[in-house]
Amino acid sequence: EIKPEDFDEIGNDFLLELVENDVAYSVAEEIINTLKNTIIGKRVPKNSDIKESIKEALVDFIKKNIPEPDLDIIEAIKNKQAKEKKPFIIIFMGINGVGKTTSIAKLANYIKKNGMTPLIVAADTFRAGSQEQLQVHADRLGVPIIRAKYNSDPASIAFDGIAYAEKKNIPVVLIDTAGRMHVDRDLINELKKIIDVVGYDLRLLVIDALSGNDSVEQAIAYEKNVGYEGFFLTKSDADTKGGVALSISVETKKPIYFLGTGQNYDDIVPFNKEWLIKTLLGEK
Amino acid sequence: MSNIFSGIKEAIKKFLSSTSPYEQSVEEFIRELQRILIKSDVNVKVVFEFTSKIRKRALEEKPPQGVSRRDWFIKIVYEELISLLGGEEELNVLPKKKPYVIMLVGVQGSGKTTTAAKLAWYYKNRGYRVGLIAADTFRAGAYEQLKQLAEKVGVEFWGDKGLNDPAEISRKGLEYHLSKKAEIIIIDTAGRHGYGEESKLIDEMKAIADAVKPDEVILVLDASIGQKAYDLAKKFHEATPIGSIIITKLDGTAKGGGAISAIAATGAKVKFVGTGEKVDEIEPFRPKNFASRILGM
Ligand SMILES: Nc1nc2c(ncn2[C@@H]2O[C@H](COP(=O)(O)OP(=O)(O)OP(=O)(O)O)[C@@H](O)[C@H]2O)c(=O)[nH]1
Ligand SMILES: Nc1nc2c(ncn2[C@@H]2O[C@H](COP(=O)(O)OP(=O)(O)OP(=O)(O)O)[C@@H](O)[C@H]2O)c(=O)[nH]1
Ligand SMILES: [K+]
Ligand SMILES: [Mg+2]
Ligand SMILES: [Mg+2]
């Protein structure tokens, strides 16, 4: 039988291991406490490794608690077309430099490969070069784009984009927005206005897999101040160990839709728990 | 000293007034300090090395006459913390010679291009003639981004969209700016992390450095970066020795502990911090302010 005192030291080492893999400290503590409760009192063969039991408990925990998307984007787009004849609206948001614009290009490519043409709306009217950046992607991918003038109102360009898509029967619209710190009230209000004006089917918060404890701050603040359905986790190719994926899903109970796994258009992978278990705990 | 410690005032009060044995109080204090630093994204190994240094000094050093052991311990923590940040002094941020060539490197999206423009703004306003070079041939719109920023700041810009070798661009850009009598030349490079398939991008970075022999390579680091900061900074440092560090996006909620990891990995110091998206949102690094931020949980 595993006793609390057997658990504590190994549990603490395991907590540090999680933290070294960029699980946010608060989330790692929460997970360890949960695992402790499931493990203590459990009968295990003599001399068996408590750490192995903790790992197994974590795998169970992930299987039970980590959400996966409950909709297939391609199906959802088709359904909306069939039922309403209206474009499926996906809005990308997140703090500066996490990979919103690149991820839009990847998703546009993914949708194209599934036989549909998306419209891209360049509603980042602030960052230098943002319009040209998205134009290059649209040209290379051969998808239509609605551009804006720098410093113009992003909500009104998003509105124009939706109107264009409706007129042209384009089934899905991907809206790029400027990077915004979750604590910048004016910029967050501007984002809310965009969303109010055009509506949405899916709002994706883009989070950088290289980030540390702040990933959770971003996820919480965006949830409280804006709202979103799930995540796009970028830069997962940077030898990251899945800690950010675990943190944001445990903290918000919202699913990760896609992983960004490189800088090319094909570097996009639908998320699943098996990936997380493998990345976080090695082969299992 | 009190200013730095504002965030851990309670822990210090507890330490100073505790009736437990000294060794035990030290251990408790250290545990709390470890937790705070790790939560601020300082690399776990760096944190443990740091605290074992503190522990060693705490147990070995004899305080001078008239100073209590506990007060002395707090002084040790202060000193070690400041040394972890690369010292108490603010760096001289002005170039040691003219012309001075700066190359910015860093992970994708860390803020290199924006920081290139910010540096140009900063030095232009201090009377230097600055030139920018767009050597990111990969990122869509990178050329336009830097060009638009150069126009906003009002400095010379060099780039060539017809070329796709960043080393060649950098060499030609350098020639161009030198012919225009630039005193500070700043090269913006593409983002990279260098793991897996990106290892060739590390060679590209070396090739740029070989072509222009920069006076200073600056690592641009996002304040939100987590545990990987150490490993990444080390990788970069081995390829092109890092002269200094700039932390960006300190206007968010990230504490920026990754910078401490990068200091530990490279021995370089932090020179500037970025506090917003606009070109004037840059400030010289102030170690004491930064320490309070890290500790101010
Ligand atoms: N290695 C890697 N790089 C990525 C990934 N996703 C995006 N990037 C890179 O990250 C950098 C920033 O990407 P952007 O798409 O411009 O980020 P953004 O969030 O739109 O940035 P802002 O609009 O300025 O806030 C670019 O250099 C991208 O190539 C990824 O999955 N892996
Ligand atoms: N809030 C805030 N945003 C910043 C800061 N510095 C840069 N940014 C933003 O971060 C995003 C990425 O900046 P870039 O300068 O494009 O980053 P980069 O490192 O050149 O990106 P790549 O070339 O793709 O690797 C942009 O939206 C910038 O406006 C800062 O100090 N604060
Ligand atoms: K980032
Ligand atoms: Mg963008
Ligand atoms: Mg750049």
Model pLDDT for residues B153-175, shown as the tens digit of each residue: 999 999 999 999 999 999 999 99
Give the distance from residue A262's alpha carbon to the nearest chain B alpha carbon, in angstroms: 9
Residue B88's pLDDT is: 87
Give CA–CA dist B177/B175, Å, rounded: 6
Contact B140 A137 (CB under 8 A): yes
Give CA–CA dist A239/A70, Å, rounded: 28
Give CA–CA dist B94/B183, Å, rounded: 11
Give CA–CA dist B103/B210, Å, rounded: 11
Q: In what order do the strands lie in the sheet with A256-260?
A: A145-146, A118-123, A172-177, A88-93, A202-208, A230-234, A256-260, A268-270
Contact B193 A239 (CB under 8 A): yes
Mutation pick for ligand 1 pocket among A96, A101, A102 (CB with most ligand atoms within 8 Å): A102
Give the distance from residue B231's alpha carbon to the nearest chain A alpha carbon, in angstroms: 10
Of A19, A182, A238, the CB nearest to B195: A238
Give CA–CA dist B62/A181, Å, rounded: 48
Give CA–CA dist B112/B118, Å, rounded: 10
User: Cα(A235) to centroid of ligand 3, in Å?
Assistant: 9
Of B144, B225, B257, the CB nearest to A132: B144
User: Cα(B139) to centroid of ligand 4, in Å?
Assistant: 11
Q: What is the mean pLDDT of residues A88-108?
A: 98
Q: What is the pLDDT of residues A129-170, one digit of tens each?
A: 999 999 999 999 999 999 999 999 999 999 999 999 999 999
Instruction: Please work out whether the CB of residue B189 comes within 6 Å of at least one atom of ligand 2.
Output: no
Q: What is the mean pLDDT of residues A84-91?
A: 97
Give the residue from B196, B220, B194 showing the smallest Cα distance to B206: B194
For chain A, give the mean pLDDT: 95
CA distances from A229 to A217, A225, A226, B196 (A): 17, 13, 11, 31
- Counting as low any pLDDT under 70, the low residues of chain B are 1-2, 297
DSSP B283: E
Of B141, B197, B258, the CB nearest to A133: B141
* Residues sharing a CB contact under 8 Å with residue A110, sequence separation 6 or more, in sequence order: A268
User: Cα(A208) to centroid of ligand 4, in Å?
Assistant: 13
Looking at chain A, which residue has its C-alpha nearest residue B150? A128
Residue A283's pLDDT is: 58
Residue A1's pLDDT is: 80
Residue A284's pLDDT is: 45
User: Cα(B139) to centroid of ligand 2, in Å?
Assistant: 13
Give the distance from residue B125's alpha carbon to the nearest chain A alpha carbon, in angstroms: 21
Query: Could you give the 3-state DSSP secondary structure of residue A163?
Result: helix
Instruction: Please work out whether the CB of residue A230 comes within 6 Å of at least one atom of ligand 2.
Output: no
Contact A213 B227 (CB under 8 A): no
Residues of B in Cβ contact (< 8 Å) with A240: 228
SS3 helix, strand, coil % of chain B, rounded to 5?
50, 15, 35
Residue B29's pLDDT is: 96
Bond prior to B99 in cis (omega within 30° of 0)? yes
Give the distance from residue B148's alpha carbon to the nearest chain A alpha carbon, in angstroms: 6
For residues B282 and B121, the answer to whether their CB atoms sit within 8 Å is: yes
Which residue spans within B19-173 are E strands per DSSP? 100-106, 130-135, 156-158
